[in-house]
Amino acid sequence: MKVKPFTDKLQKFSAVGMPCSSKEFNDLKDGKEIALTKETAELMQSMGLVQIVEDKKSKSKENK
């Protein structure tokens, strides 16, 4: 799942207590949109640190 960080809230935390890796946490602190596992994304969303980005899949047009 792709997540978008709330950078203002992430600045108060360190990577030690986070459910993601330190590299993923540093990418989130930089404001990058990254992909996490579903469980990790939902846990961090419940903590109020990230927002889950819905992937909109484009549908192919039907031939008439």
Q: Which residues of 11-33 are buried (b: 16+ CB within 10 A; e: fewer)?
A: eeeeeeebbbeeebbeebeeeee
61 falls within a domain: no
CB atoms within 10 A of CB 7: 13
Domain span at 26: 2-53
Q: Which of 13, 56, 31 is nearest to 3 (CA)?
A: 31
The confidence score (pLDDT) of residue 43 equals: 94
The encoded tokens of residue 24 equal 């993923």
- The answer to whether residue 62 is domain-embedded is no
Residue 61 has a pLDDT of 65
Domain-located, residue 10: yes
Mean pLDDT of the chain: 88
Whether the predicted pLDDT of 28 surpasses 80: yes
Structural domains in the chain (count): 1
Residue 22: in which H helix or E strand, if any? helix 22-29
> Residue 35 falls within a domain, yes or no?
yes
The model's confidence at residue 63, banded by pLDDT at 50, 70 and 90, is low
